[in-house]
Amino acid sequence: MKPAPFDYVAPTTIDEACAILAEAHGGATVLAGGQTLLPLLNLRMSQPFILVDINHIAGLKGIARVDGGTLIGPMTRQCEAIENTALQQHLPVLVEAVRHIGHHQTRNLGTIGGSVTLGEPAAELPATAVALKATIEVRSIRGSRNIPAADFYLGPYMTVLEEDELVTGIRFPDWSPGHITLFRELAQRPGDFALVGLAGALSIESGKVARAGLAWFGMGPTPMRARAAEQLLLGQSVHEIDPQAVAAAAINDTAPFDDQHASAEYRRTVGARLFASTLREAIRVREAA
């Protein structure tokens, strides 16, 4: 279990990294925290010609409050995100999601950008980025663009990222103070990929849902945005919400599959149930507050 031969480069600036990616014409793979990539290299499931190590680029690290939101550098370690007070205050769903990634040891090296960019459909962060309506900032020698997370994922490990593009930031908009937070993950053991997972946020203004973001993980080939459920919730009074009905709408936006850990029907059945109970509990907590 040794990787196939590759060239290794460790640029120190974003421009340098983009130049290398452009020159490689698809033959390069970016190394962030390596918690997924290194096993893939060792299994020879990934065989790049050039490994571009972006761990030495200072400009890709850190968490900053920006106008109307939070900008997270892709090389921010998952353990740093958990400890960050700004995130705890503004993006509690994101912090909860990061807590569920892998294990304590893997979170020390694993990065926010690595997980968002890889696009594992059963992983926590891609779905959380979709639910929280994050924007993924990418750069290449051709220029920059901002891609809504909901448009970023194409299939398992497949995204709209071009071969010369580098993710330079993930921008999460602020949700109104006191927004309703939803997060639930069902996994066989701590650290396993989800059999069923969901993340979401509801902004409440004058007692009504003003903004809704909901997405599933482990429930299809990509993070699955629950658009119909979002629509159903918008404008509803909090006390009028029928969690069962919202869950039924949400489960319609999934496309789960059979694997050796759970059947598609299991995922649908338990998914709808967990969605309803998570929403019910979140509303109960809010109304009690």
Which residues in this chain contact other proteins in the complex, by CB under 8 A? 1-5, 39, 43-44, 183-193, 195, 258-266, 269-270, 273-274, 277-278
Query: Minimum Å distance from CB 282 to other proteins?
Result: 12
85 or 260: CB nearest other proteins: 260
Query: Minimum Å distance from CB 20 to other proteins?
Result: 24
Give, to the nearest 10 degrees, the angle between helix 92-99 and helix 124-131. 170
Query: Minimum Å distance from CB 115 to other proteins?
Result: 15
150 or 201: CB nearest other proteins: 201
208 or 286: CB nearest other proteins: 286
Query: Minimum Å distance from CB 275 to other proteins?
Result: 11
206 or 260: CB nearest other proteins: 260
DSSP the chain: --PPP-EEE--SSHHHHHHHHHHHTT-EEEESS-TTHHHHHHTTS---SEEEE-TT-GGG--EEEETTEEEE-TT-BHHHHHH-HHHHHH-HHHHHHHHTSS-HHHHHH-BHHHHHHH--TT-HHHHHHHHTT-EEEEEETTEEEEEEHHHHEEETTEES--TT-EEEEEEEE---TT-EEEEEEE-SSTTSPPSEEEEEEEEEETTEEEEEEEEEESSSSS-EE-HHHHHHHTT-BGGG--HHHHHHHHHTT------SS--HHHHHHHHHHHHHHHHHHHHHHHHH-
Query: Minimum Å distance from CB 226 to other proteins?
Result: 17
3 or 62: CB nearest other proteins: 3
Compute how many other C-beta atoms are within 10 angstroms of the C-beta atom of residue 224: 25
Query: Minimum Å distance from CB 95 to other proteins?
Result: 14
Query: Minimum Å distance from CB 43 to other proteins?
Result: 6
Residue type, 127: A
95: phi then psi, degrees, rounded to nearest 5 = -60, -45
5 or 68: CB nearest other proteins: 5
109 or 264: CB nearest other proteins: 264
